[in-house]
């Protein structure tokens, strides 16, 4: 185990009990996530990517094996973990600012410092002067940016992203990928991203974990040796193409199998 690992996943197995019997989702998954890593998890639908993410976040328990975060076992949801889900999941009757401050509000009284931090996050994600708007007045991309602000407001040590950009159109998704790279470089949060997009995984990550079909296991751990600042023109470079082409055959093989 690496000494600088913030997350340690050791031989984790997950089996779901259903009316039709036991359904294996994950098979003895082990990995380390270093502090400050941006790690994407890719694999076919149903391979257990989201299950693994939820177990790391303490939302569901493993059937076997162990998960540690900052040296302590993960036994339930933790305040030092932020989640961004596939949908923005904003409360429609609350303003943008109120939605961002919600995690603080459920724990304690919101302070002037909290409000200042919320405005800082909104500004950094291009949402200046949208604090009094309601979710219905925002585009899908803007709503997801609000959900990112909400996940960051508590200054979590780890940020877990479950296919958060999948419903966005291609141009909006590209723009928010660039923006999220800026956020990661500015905050140095440890980030885990579940995505079905090979391009997105390579563009955003320092490492990509490739999972097999169900029951999922890690079949490759690919280091992404690209400049930390990621701009759209990088996608057309030979280096980017080589990394994407290293991942793509796994999906071709899985489709054939």
Q: What is the DSSP letter of 13?
A: E
Coil, strand or helix: which one is 232? Answer: helix
Is residue 243 within 8 A of residue 38, CB to CB? The reply is no
d(CA 208, CA 232): 19
d(CA 15, CA 13): 7
Same domain, 206 and 254: yes
Calculate what percentage of the chain has a pLDDT beyond 70.
Answer: 97
Same domain, 242 and 222: yes
Calculate what percentage of the chain has a pLDDT beyond 90.
Answer: 59
Residue 254: what pLDDT? 52
* Mean pLDDT on 157-161: 91
In a domain, 183, yes or no: no
pLDDT (tens digit, 9 = 90+) per residue, 84-136? 888 788 999 999 999 999 988 888 888 999 999 999 999 888 899 999 999 99
Length in residues, the chain: 257
Residue 256: what pLDDT? 47
Place of tokens 């098979």: 27
In a domain, 177, yes or no: no
Same domain, 89 and 163: no
If pLDDT is split at 50, 70 and 90, which confidence band does 253 have? low
Same domain, 71 and 166: yes
Same domain, 254 and 133: no
Q: Identify the CATH number of the domain in which residue 225 sits.
A: 3.40.50.300
In a domain, 237, yes or no: yes
In a domain, 219, yes or no: yes
Helices (H), the chain: 49-56, 96-105, 112-124, 140-152, 170-187, 198-204, 238-256
Instruction: Tell me the whole-structure pTM to 2 decimals.
Output: 0.87
Q: What is the DSSP letter of 96?
A: H
Same domain, 241 and 165: yes
Q: How many structural domains compose the chain? A: 2
Q: Which domain holds residue 130?
A: 85-155
Same domain, 14 and 76: yes
d(CA 184, CA 193): 12
Same domain, 222 and 115: no
Q: What is the DSSP letter of 238?
A: H
């Amino acid at each position: 185990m690496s000494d600088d690992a913030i997350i340690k996943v050791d031989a984790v197995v997950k089996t779901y009990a259903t009316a039709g019997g036991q359904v294996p989702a994950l098979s003895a998954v082990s990995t380390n996530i270093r502090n400050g890593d941006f790690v994407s998890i890719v694999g076919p639908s149903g391979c257990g990517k989201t299950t693994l993410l939820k177990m790391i976040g303490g939302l569901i328990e493993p059937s076997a094996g162990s998960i540690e975060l900052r040296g302590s076992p993960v036994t339930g949801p933790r305040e030092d973990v932020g989640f961004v889900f596939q949908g923005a999941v904003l409360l429609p009757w609350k303003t943008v600012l109120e939605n961002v401050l919600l995690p603080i509000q459920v724990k304690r009284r919101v302070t002037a410092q909290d409000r200042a931090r919320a405005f800082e996050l909104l500004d950094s994600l291009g949402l200046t002067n949208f604090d009094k708007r309601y979710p219905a007045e925002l585009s899908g991309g803007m709503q997801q940016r609000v959900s990112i602000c909400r996940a960051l407001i508590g200054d979590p040590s780890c940020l877990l992203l479950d296919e958060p950009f999948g419903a966005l159109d291609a141009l909006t998704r590209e723009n928010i990928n660039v923006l999220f790279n800026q956020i990661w470089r500015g905050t140095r949060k440890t980030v885990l991203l579940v995505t079905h997009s090979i391009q997105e995984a390579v563009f955003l990550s320092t490492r990509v974990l490739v999972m097999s079909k169900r029951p999922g296991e890690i079949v490759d751990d690919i280091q992404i040796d690209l400049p930390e600042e990621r701009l759209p023109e990088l996608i057309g470079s030979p280096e980017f193409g080589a990394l994407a082409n290293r991942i793509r055959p796994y999906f071709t093989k899985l489709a054939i199998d």
